[in-house]
Amino acid sequence: MILQAENQVVDVHNLTVSYDNKPVLWNIDLTLPKGALVGIIGPNGAGKSTLIKAMMGIVPVDSGYVKIFGEALNVVRQKIAYVPQRESVDWDFPASVYDIVMMGRYGKMGLFKRPRKADADVVMDCLRKVGLVALKDRQIAQLSGGQQQRVFLARALAQEADLYFMDEPFAGVDIATETAIIELLREMRNDGKTVVVVHHDLQSAAEYFNWTILINTRLIASGPTPQVLTNELLQKTYGGKLDVLSQMQDIIKIEAFSVGHS
């Protein structure tokens, strides 16, 4: 089930990506609506992270195209922000929390990259939103995993983008941090931002996202979450990789959520 989004901000057509001649994504067609909180769901190795990297032009594609806001990526790059997986970052890099968040302002600065008071104000506002003002002078290597995740979320917020891609922002964080992050993502959605999140937890997906992509190399489904997170489509996505008992528990919770919110 692949539904066309109204008021599209992302249009992916016939996208194929391979590593070492092995397809990781195959013939992906989807659209995403403005102002959605989008979850990309699928088993390990399904191509979830590759999909957002292909949308942003970080990895080369074999065929197909991606249009964002109806334009080629290079035309609208400043409207896009990215939060990478925490494991992919060199946390020994000698920089403070404030410095890292200020990096999000570089695209808005002039030729000489000198922060203005307006940039400093934005940085402090973003630090307030993620609860890190008290740690602004701390070196990033000294932070906990959840605090590090908040720093990179604040850096993305400082870009003042319209479209955000986030690669497993909830991985390795405590429940308080996860709750704070999802509340912030909902605020962003309510402000008209579109947020696309690679996510691995089926149990919370129905609660967190109002649009869901199910993927396992091929696109299984893309559409409003209650229509996508169904027994049949989850079976197609996970096959035998999903433990039967945990799968049934998830499906029961998802269907109960869907009924309660329909």
Question: Domain limits of the chain?
Answer: 8-260
Tokens 């109002």 appear where?
A: 210
pLDDT at residue 252 in the model:
47
Rounded distance between C-alpha atoms, residue 88 and residue 110, angstroms: 29
* Stretch (H or E) spanning 14: strand 8-19
pLDDT at residue 241 in the model:
56
CB atoms within 10 A of CB 87: 11
> Residue type for 240, please?
G
pLDDT at residue 239 in the model:
83
What does the pLDDT look like over 60-112, one tens digit per residue? Answer: 999 999 999 999 888 998 899 998 887 666 767 788 999 999 988 887 776 56
pLDDT at residue 244 in the model:
45
* Mean pLDDT in consecutive groups of 10 residues from the start of the chain, 262 residues: 78 93 92 95 92 92 93 90 78 84 81 79 93 92 87 92 93 86 92 93 90 95 94 87 50 50 44
Cα–Cα separations (whole angstroms), residue 161 to 38, 76, 133: 16, 10, 21
Model pTM score: 0.85
Q: Tell me the CATH number for domain 8-260.
A: 3.40.50.300
